[in-house]
Amino acid sequence: TGSSRPQRMLKAVQKNATKGDPQSVISAIDHYCRHKEWAMNVGDDKGLILDSVLTEVNPSTALELGTYCGYSTVRIARLLSPGSKLFTVEFNPAFAEVARQIIAYAGLQDKVTLVEGSSGDLIPKMKEQFGIKYFDFVFLDHWKDRYVPDTKLLEDCGLLKKGSVLLADNVICPGAPEYLKYVRNSPRYESRYYKSNLEYTKVEDGLEKSVFLG
């Protein structure tokens, strides 16, 4: 059987990026997905917003739900301060396998722990399994109908503290309407929408940033 889209993306990184240079990995993926074949990375437009929110928060412990091929994992990990950690959760083993190689190619494997499995199962185990107290920053980019249940799970497991920041991808396209209702109507969050466009297209999409108020 032929290669998969994630495998072709990995090949493009190995061909066009410089080992140990995260920015070249990001650029190689963006070029491939813009000019060869589209893929569901957060992309360069929304990626700049992700970068600015991440830099502002400067998290010690971050969580990403939905690794896919590791593009946003590399974007986040490259900006972490020394000693800070990023945990990323991926359900799909084929995606996880490619992501591990892309994260390693960028030289960021020491900052990233990729956990395979479903977010609903893994979130309740994170405190005990990884000795995590809180997540200062959470990037939601997995199945859109899991955004609300997993946010509630993070709250109930005591994994959010006053000031923790949630940043959700795709709140317009494919859309996460229940999530927008949840965070915008809850007294426990201060939310703001960052308008942008769906990765590598002119279609509108955006990121919703929600600060947990405790």
> Does the annotation mark 170 as catalytic?
yes
- Of 102, 87, 109, which is closest to residue 25 (Cα–Cα)? 102
Residue nearest to Mg ion (CB): 169
Binding-site partner at residue 174 among Mg ion, ligand 77P, none, CB < 5 to 8 Å by type: ligand 77P
Query: What's the closest the beta carbon of residue 30 comes to Mg ion, in angstroms?
Result: 14
Bond before 149 cis per omega within 30 degrees: no
Helical (H) or strand (E) element with 49: helix 43-57
Q: Is 56 known to be catalytic?
A: no
CB 151 → Mg ion: shortest distance, Å?
16
- Count the residues in the chain: 214
From the candidates 144, 205, 208, 209, which is the catalytic residue?
144
Round to whole Å and give the CA distance between 30 and 52.
Answer: 18
134 binds, among ligand 77P, Mg ion, none (CB under 5 to 8 A by kind): none
- Residue 45 DSSP label: H
Rank residues 141 and 150 by Cβ distance to Mg ion and give the closer one: 141
Catalytic annotation present for 205:
no
Whether 51 is catalytic is: no
**Is 199 a catalytic site residue?**
yes
Residue 92's binding partner among ligand 77P, Mg ion, none (Cβ under 5 to 8 angstroms by kind) is ligand 77P
Q: CB nearer to Mg ion: give 134 or 183.
A: 183
Active site residues: 141, 144, 169-170, 199
Residues that bind Mg ion (CB under 5 A): 141, 169-170
